[in-house]
Amino acid sequence: MEIRRDVFQAIADPTRRAIIVLLTMGAMTPNSLAEHFDSSRQAISKHLKILTECDLLKQKQQGREIYYHLDIDKIKEIDQWINQFRKIWESRFDQLDHLLVNLKSKTDKTS
């Protein structure tokens, strides 16, 4: 039985988020990614495996090298899921702004 990894658990790790950011600049090999971290190549490979299992990354073989790149469609899915909460937060901040303006207006009148 295959264990399905959760994409949100995958992106909860700061190293994996950093890998995603690096890959926004273009495809990279595990060795080139490992150069950016104080981790072993083996540790970076484990992070790449998890991100690949969550379909956040895709692999492409070029000669003897494997290049990893982002699956933009999967990143968009995450953004769409988060966006529903962004709208709620923005609405609440707008309500808070309105409340603060009203409170300031009342204190200015009583001063």
Statement to judge: residues 59 and 104 lie in one domain = no
Statement to judge: residues 35 and 88 lie in one domain = no
Statement to judge: residues 49 and 77 lie in one domain = no
| CA triple 38-47-7, angle to 5 deg | 135
Rounded to an integer, the average pLDDT of 25-45 is 94
Domain containing 56 equals 7-70
Tell me if 107 is assigned to some domain: yes
Q: How many domains does the chain have?
A: 2
Give the model's confidence band at 84: pLDDT under 50 very low, under 70 low, under 90 confident, else very high: confident
Statement to judge: residues 13 and 66 lie in one domain = yes
Statement to judge: residues 77 and 88 lie in one domain = yes
- How many residues belong to the chain? 111
CA pair distance 39, 32, nearest whole angstrom? 12
Tell me if 97 is assigned to some domain: yes
What's the CATH number where 32 sits?
1.10.10.10
User: What is the model's pLDDT at position 107?
Assistant: 82
Looking at the chain, the whole-number percentage of residues with pLDDT higher than 70 is 95
Tell me if 2 is assigned to some domain: no
User: What is the model's pLDDT at position 3?
Assistant: 58
Give the model's confidence band at 2: pLDDT under 50 very low, under 70 low, under 90 confident, else very high: low
- Is residue 51 within 8 A of residue 19, CB to CB? The reply is yes
Give the model's confidence band at 4: pLDDT under 50 very low, under 70 low, under 90 confident, else very high: low
Long-range contacts of 6-9 (CB under 8 A, 24+ apart): 6/54, 7/54, 7/55, 7/56, 7/74, 7/78, 8/78
